[in-house]
């Protein structure tokens, strides 16, 4: 599914709903920009590009990404430690099993469908473990709704 773009002053926020695991990081970090009760739910005019970039940098599933259009380099939001970063462990790809959640696959990977079609090439992918996702093989947060444990 292609990203939906939300343009603001100095930034374009890209939203991939099919990749969201509903952690609500965006809403709790920057509720004036990310308001699930509003339409459109992303308002990039409600904060500066740097503040928005910092919030988006924290999106665990990378359902939210951005392009800086003000000349600032990507990743110039807030510096953050990423315990899942493959570089931190010296491995090219890391698969973390999230408690009662998805598989977090980090590092450049191709997700290939049963017919051999590449579904996604990404640096970070969350794959369903509970079997209830509506966007299989990707996690959509259904594990929370169904009370999956494991």
CATH of the domain at 120: 3.40.5
pLDDT, one tens digit for every residue, the chain (150 residues): 678 999 999 999 999 888 888 889 999 999 999 999 999 999 999 999 999 999 998 888 888 988 889 888 665 443 333 444 444 455 588 898 988 999 989 888 899 988 989 998 888 899 999 999 999 999 998 999 999 998
Range of the domain at 111: 86-146
64 and 102 co-located in one domain:
no
* Gap between the Cα atoms of 131 and 129, Å rounded: 6
CA 96-98-34 angle, 5° bins: 110
Q: pTM for the complete prediction?
A: 0.60
Identify whether 76 is part of a domain: no
Residue 9 sits in the same domain as residue 59:
yes
Q: Is residue 132 part of a domain?
A: yes
Greatest CA separation found in the chain? 44
Closest CA to 20 of 107, 143, 147, 148: 143
- Residue 17: φ, ψ to 5°: -60, -30
Q: How many CA atoms lie within 13 A of 18 on its CB side?
A: 11
Residue 118: phi, psi to the nearest 5?
-75, 115
Give the chain's domain count: 2
Q: Compute the C-alpha angle 128/131/133, nearest 5°.
A: 65
Residue 77, domain member (yes or no): no
């Amino acid at each position: 599914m292609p990203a939906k773009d939300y343009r603001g002053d100095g930034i374009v926020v890209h939203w991939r709903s099919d990749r969201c695991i509903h952690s609500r990081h965006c809403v709790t970090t920057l509720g004036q920009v990310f308001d699930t009760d509003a339409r459109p739910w992303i308002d990039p005019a409600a904060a500066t590009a740097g503040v928005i970039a910092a919030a988006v940098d924290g999106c665990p599933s990378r359902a939210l990404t951005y392009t800086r259009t003000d000349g600032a380099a990507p990743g110039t939001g807030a510096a953050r430690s990423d315990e899942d970063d493959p570089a931190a462990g010296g491995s090219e790809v890391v698969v973390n099993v999230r408690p009662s959640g998805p598989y977090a696959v980090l590092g450049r990977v191709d997700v290939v469908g049963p017919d051999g079609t590449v579904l996604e090439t990404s640096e970070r992918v969350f794959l369903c473990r509970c079997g209830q996702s509506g966007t299989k093989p990707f996690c959509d947060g259904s594990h929370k709704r169904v009370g999956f444990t494991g």
